Structure 1
Amino acid sequence: MVMMSIHTMNLSFSSSFFLAGVPGLEYAHWWISLPLTFIYLVTLVANFCVLFIIKTEQSLHQPMYAFLSMLLFSDLVQSNSTIPKMLLIFWFNDREISFDGCLVQMFFVHSFSIMGSSVLLAMAFDRYVAICDPLRYSTVLTNPVVTKIGILVSIRGILLILPHPFLVKRLPFCRSHTIEHTYCEHIAVAKLSCSDIRINVLYGLIVALSVVGVDSVFITVSYTMIVRAVLRLSSREARHKVGSTCVTHVCVILVAYIPALFSFMSQRFGENTSSTQIILSILYLIFPPMLNPIIYGIKTREIQKNVLKIIYYRISRKR
């Protein structure tokens, strides 16, 4: 019993985990890396481009674009905390990640995911005030208010996820140290423990329901009131303009929540980790950060004009 206890302690404090990649598709890792690399490059270019435009263009210094900047920043952090390591796994079979590095990655992935959801709620509130109470828009969403919302978004993401690393660190790991995933997802790591992980599962479920559940309810209420306000507009052109802005935001919400929902359900309630679950989790991490700046770039005329201005400037300089 003493020897078994020592063996358990040694494994519990092992300095490394190993990420499996996509179980069952190891032979296709290199092929998976090709679209992943392309998506990552597009994500970096598109997000930095839109962030640069918002920062440099004075006309875009408005609450809506401040919230968009927060969303794009959270997307960039989430992408950069996971995709580079995925590519190392797929390219060089570099699967090892330190225990502390795994906990740090877990914290950044989950906390910035919550921040992204919180920003989407803030953007829904912004659209609600702009459309349903336009005369008070400039007095309600002042710069100090937007700054406070940004601080609350950060605090919410940090406080809700801060227990995750500690809940994992308390666990003894006396089984395999190979995580059946491409990154350190909370439950995927906790499942490796030989002790009871019900607290991890319960807390993860509470966080997910309190974030996605609360945010989606308030977003739905906001857009219900927005739709009613839009239908009351007499001008067809005004309805089209307002509707176009709302459609953009709704597309971003769907892109964020649908893959997240499938990933969460498969990870919590799936009996065994499958390649399908892993692919869904990867899609949840890579598609929203790539599509968000593209959707806003296509649907927002101000961003469009500035992107074209930059392209024209680059071409004229080469000539």
Structure 2
Amino acid sequence: MGSTNMSYLNPKTVTLIGIPGLEHVQFWIGFAFFGVCLVALLGNSFLLIIISIERSLHKHLYIFLAVLAATDLGLCVAIAPKMLAIFCFDSYSMAFDAYLTQLFFIHALQGMESGILLVMALIAHIHPHTFLFRVVLMVAIRTTMLVGILPILLKRLQLFHPVVIAHSYCEHMAVVKLAKEDVHINKSFGLFVAFAILGFDVIFVFISNFLIFQTIFRLPQKEARLKAFNTCTAHIIVFLEFYILAFFSFFSHRFGHVSVYAHILLSTIYLLVPPALNPIVYGMKTMEIRMWVAQILIIKPDTQK
């Protein structure tokens, strides 16, 4: 790694330092996030197994639940190992190419999560199976193409400040800020990706939920309205947690003056908490899955003896 006046030319490694200001409690923060990741891994794995082996669940709604579960598993696997290594084992160094690879997978899976949440919201209004599968394919292509350009634009940069990154995972703007070159293209394209994926999705998610609430309030029976409202409220909470914290992360990097540790904690929460909540909100609140789980857990007495 060459250096001139505290500048680094084509760095081979970067240093992720975790959460500045909270180094003395990083181990316990890591322990808490490990618990969240464990819930996410077990919940989403269980959901995938149930949907794959139970033929009655081979319907479009549950197939999209399985896609969401697989996306959540991928997101946990992409973030957790290095983050926990930083928090618990002081493993700060990382190859620059590995950084860019993790960056791609984190942002791509984040975009997939947003797209699948959009598709889930539209299921109530769109039913043809083939059309829905095409939508999922379009979501995957959109995310891969847009996010795939981010590491390419970063790779063209050559001159950096000391590559010590105040973050617990690989993030686009965190490394853009270290460049000692013109990064207007990187910043502009990063913002475009955020609005092309999350901005587009959140608009249609809220339109869909608005239409759903209109339908709920037209139901003649109070019990039916309360049941439907309870289900939709849980979904809305997941949407709000994901999108509000996502845009908070994007805007605080560019325009905000939020403390570094608050930014990193909230950014990590918005990526790791939804994968832990989704199996509960979308899985256990679905009657068919709940009944199937009950059949597994409840041991029936042997009446033949």
Tell me the equivalent position of 1:133: none
Matches of 1:95 and 1:255, distance apart in 2: 29
After the TM superposition, which of the residue ranges 77-86 and 261-270 deviates more from structure 2?
A: 261-270
Q: CA deviation at 1:6?
A: 7.7
Tell me the equivalent position of 1:168: 154
1:123 aligns with 2:120: yes
1:114 aligns with 2:111: yes
1:287 aligns with 2:273: yes
Contact 1:128 1:223 in 2 (8 A): no
- Distance change >3 Å, CA 214–CA 261, structure 1 → 2: same
Matches of 1:79 and 1:37, distance apart in 2: 10
2:52 is aligned, of 52, 55, 68, to: 55
RMSD of aligned C-alpha atoms?
A: 2.4
Q: CA deviation at 1:228?
A: 2.1
Tell me the equivalent position of 2:285: 299
Matches of 1:124 and 1:211, distance apart in 2: 15
Matches of 2:160 and 2:139, distance apart in 1: 37
After the TM superposition, which of the residue ranges 289-298 and 274-283 deviates more from structure 2?
A: 289-298
Matches of 1:284 and 1:175, distance apart in 2: 28
Q: CA deviation at 1:286?
A: 1.1
Q: CA deviation at 1:164?
A: 0.3
1:103 aligns with 2:100: yes
Unaligned stretches of 5+ in structure 1? 130-136
Matches of 1:301 and 1:309, distance apart in 2: 12
2:165 is aligned, of 152, 165, 179, to: 179
Tell me the equivalent position of 1:68: 65
Matches of 1:110 and 1:259, distance apart in 2: 14
SS of 1:97 mapped into structure 2: strand
Q: Deviations over 1:6-27 (max 9, x none)?
A: 849x933221111010011111
Matches within 5 A, 1:151-162: 151-162=137-148
SS of 1:189 mapped into structure 2: helix
Tell me the equivalent position of 2:209: 223
Moved over 4 A (4+): 5-8
Tell me the equivalent position of 1:79: 76
Query: Among the aligned pairs, what percent are the same residue?
Result: 39
SS of 1:69 mapped into structure 2: helix
Matches of 1:283 and 1:222, distance apart in 2: 25
Tell me the equivalent position of 2:89: 92
Contact 1:248 1:299 in 2 (8 A): no
Contact 2:143 2:197 in 1 (8 A): no
Tell me the equivalent position of 2:243: 257
Matches of 1:6 and 1:21, distance apart in 2: 24
1:277 is aligned, of 253, 263, 270, to: 263
Matches of 1:27 and 1:225, distance apart in 2: 48
SS of 1:81 mapped into structure 2: helix
Matches of 1:308 and 1:260, distance apart in 2: 35
TM-score of the pair, normalised by structure 2: 0.90
Matches of 1:65 and 1:249, distance apart in 2: 15
Matches within 5 A, 1:178-257: 178-257=164-243
- Distance change >3 Å, CA 313–CA 154, structure 1 → 2: farther
Matches of 1:47 and 1:218, distance apart in 2: 25
How many residues align structurally?
Answer: 300
Q: Deviations over 1:273-319 (max 9, x none)?
A: 611111111111111111111222342122222222333369x9xxx
Contact 1:177 1:192 in 2 (8 A): yes
SS of 2:15 mapped into structure 1: strand
Matches of 1:277 and 1:117, distance apart in 2: 20
Matches of 1:277 and 1:42, distance apart in 2: 23
- Distance change >3 Å, CA 272–CA 300, structure 1 → 2: closer
SS of 1:162 mapped into structure 2: helix
Question: Partner amino acid for 2:125?
Answer: Y
Unaligned stretches of 5+ in structure 2? none
Q: Deviations over 1:10-59 (max 9, x none)?
A: 93322111101001111111111111111111111011011111112222
2:40 is aligned, of 24, 43, 46, to: 43
Q: Deviations over 1:104-148 (max 9, x none)?
A: 11101111111111111111110224xxxxxxx4xxx22x33322
Contact 1:23 1:180 in 2 (8 A): yes
- Distance change >3 Å, CA 91–CA 124, structure 1 → 2: same
Question: Partner amino acid for 1:86?
Answer: M
Contact 1:128 1:225 in 2 (8 A): no
